[in-house]
A and B are shown apart, each in its own frame.
Chain A
């Protein structure tokens, strides 16, 4: 499988490329008032409204810097409503992919309750890469509210 690598600080994380729809440069998002700080905002993506989560803020606590290497990774995401949505993940230094074998991933053996989106680990010559569990990136409550919002918008549009 192919792992799309990104950095939070000096640490490497990866996203299974099978989940990735598109990778685009950093773009302007519409801020969502009252949302947690790691929700970068809403993005108009090819006719859809896509929520964007700032992985640098989520994992590292500091929002992603806007550099050429900072990109929005658009991933397939099965929401609480069991429908497939698209979720944007804002991450720094998205410049590398890595070919690796599924069976080489090792369980971290320890998961903090708030960090359930941090999956198993892959070890290469440079250190460890932690895989992101895309489904768990959004906390349950946020997941429902975010995609509920998207649903409502869609419903309102189709009704008019």
Chain B
């Protein structure tokens, strides 16, 4: 329904802008309609819709309640998937998450863990296989399995930057340490060492990685 509403809007961008004949005089300076305030204002006007039924009452109740003090202790993590395993690492260790890159293997050096070199913004970084480090089965990544979601994550610790491939990134979340559970002792050893706890997010069990252990496993000395 929202799509239909959006289609009804006849904005200047559809007539003289990037979706139209491109004759708008402002287009040269702004490059694309999305950089123009007209476009922004039109987008914001989508908020100028009547309040849905019950919404107002719901918010009246929400703000009448005492605000739950958000514990300052929340940990910010980025949640990602390596093969079938959902994992989380503290956000501050991430430098960037970028599109999937070609990994150039290094003869006589490339192995299960060290995948090769990867070009990130003109800088060559070591690319390691998180799956191998974590010992999670690398289920010979079936090519149909949502290649689009694969990303290259760049992490930095103590001045060393390196990259590793992830199969999917869920996003940045803030987790209360109280919600972390201990890793069951029945899990395989390597995972216990690298995981500090497990928490649940949207019905997923997510392993919270111990940054020291995990990142030390990723770093190499040549």
Using a CB–CB cutoff of 8 Å, the interface residues on chain A facing chain B are 22, 24-28, 43-47, 66-70, 93, 95-96, 125-126
Contacts and interface: CB of A to CB of B under 8 A. Distances in A.
Interface residues of B, number: 18
Given A44-B64, A96-B44, A125-B37, A67 B59 contact: no
Contacts, number: 55
20 contacts: A24-B62, A25-B56, A27-B63, A44-B60, A44-B63, A44-B64, A46-B64, A46-B66, A46-B67, A66-B56, A68-B47, A68-B48, A68-B49, A68-B50, A69-B48, A93-B48, A95-B44, A95-B47, A96-B44, A126-B37
Interface in B36-68: 37, 44, 47-51, 55-57, 59-60, 62-67
A45 B64 CA distance: 5
A46 B61 CA distance: 10
Given A69-B44, A93-B47, A24 B59 contact: yes
B44 A28 contact: no
A125 B47 CA distance: 23
Contacts of A44: 60, 63-64
A27 B47 contact: no
Interface in B1-58: 37, 44, 47-51, 55-57
Interface string B120-139: 00000000000000000000
Contacts of B64: 44-46
Contacts of A47: 66
